[in-house]
């Protein structure tokens, strides 16, 4: 019983250490995120979304504003960028993670930036 409890504690400790640790993003993270979001060969978010000071933006998707209130759960936003077709099968948003357009790390940087909008 006691050993079991210790095991549970250790497991919890291990999980919390390897789980999705989220540290406050640095300004460098945010800047990198904006760069990835605006770049045509990476996120190219402006193709469809109005956001921030982006020029000549598309209007297929919704404007990216108030992201904190719209996506209070960071994990959900990550999943939607990873593969929006899981949430809306007829979406035209590319499955950025599933199709390896962006890496997990790159999506995280973009989210650091998006949460400043």
Partner 1 sequence: MLKAKVILVAIGVALAVPQVQAGSTPEEDRKETVEYFKQMFPDVAIEEFVNGQYALDEDRRKQWASMQDFPPYEFAVAEGKVMFETPFANGKTYASCFANNGIGIRQNYPYFDTVKNEVITLELAINRCREANGEPPLGWKKGPIASISAYMASTSQGKPFDIKVPDDAEAQVAYQDGKEFYYSRRGQLNFSCASCHVQNPGKWIRADLLSPTLGQPANFPVHRSKWGELGTLHRRFAGCNNNVRAEPLPAQSEEYRNLEYFLTYMSNGLPVVGPATRP
The distance of closest approach from Cβ of residue 64 to partner 1 in the complex, given in angstroms and rounded to an integer, is 15
The distance of closest approach from Cβ of residue 30 to partner 1 in the complex, given in angstroms and rounded to an integer, is 23
Closer of 17 and 56 to partner 1 (Cβ) = 56
The distance of closest approach from Cβ of residue 26 to partner 1 in the complex, given in angstroms and rounded to an integer, is 30
Closer of 44 and 115 to partner 1 (Cβ) = 44
Least Cα distance to 99 among 81, 117, 116, 112 occurs for 81
The distance of closest approach from Cβ of residue 92 to partner 1 in the complex, given in angstroms and rounded to an integer, is 4
The runs of H, that is alpha helices, within 23-114 are: 27-38, 67-70, 74-82, 104-114
Least Cα distance to 111 among 40, 20, 41 occurs for 20
Closer of 96 and 113 to partner 1 (Cβ) = 96
Give the separation between CA 78 and CA 20, rounded to whole angstroms. Answer: 11
Closer of 58 and 103 to partner 1 (Cβ) = 58
> What is the contact surface with partner 1 in residues (CB under 8 A)?
46-48, 56-60, 85, 89-90, 92, 94-95, 99-101
Least Cα distance to 111 among 24, 19, 16 occurs for 24
């Amino acid at each position: 019983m006691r050993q079991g409890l210790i095991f549970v504690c250790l497991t919890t400790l291990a999980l919390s250490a390897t789980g999705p640790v989220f540290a406050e993003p640095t300004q460098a993270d945010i800047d990198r995120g904006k760069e990835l979001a605006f770049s045509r060969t990476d996120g190219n978010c402006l193709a469809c979304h109005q956001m921030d000071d982006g020029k000549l933006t598309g209007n297929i998707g919704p404007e990216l504003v108030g992201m904190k209130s719209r996506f209070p759960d960071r994990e959900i936003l990550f999943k939607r960028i990873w593969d929006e077709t899981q949430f809306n099968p007829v979406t035209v948003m590319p499955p950025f993670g599933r199709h390896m357009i962006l890496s997990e790390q790159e999506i995280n940087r973009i989210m650091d930036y998006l949460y400043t909008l």
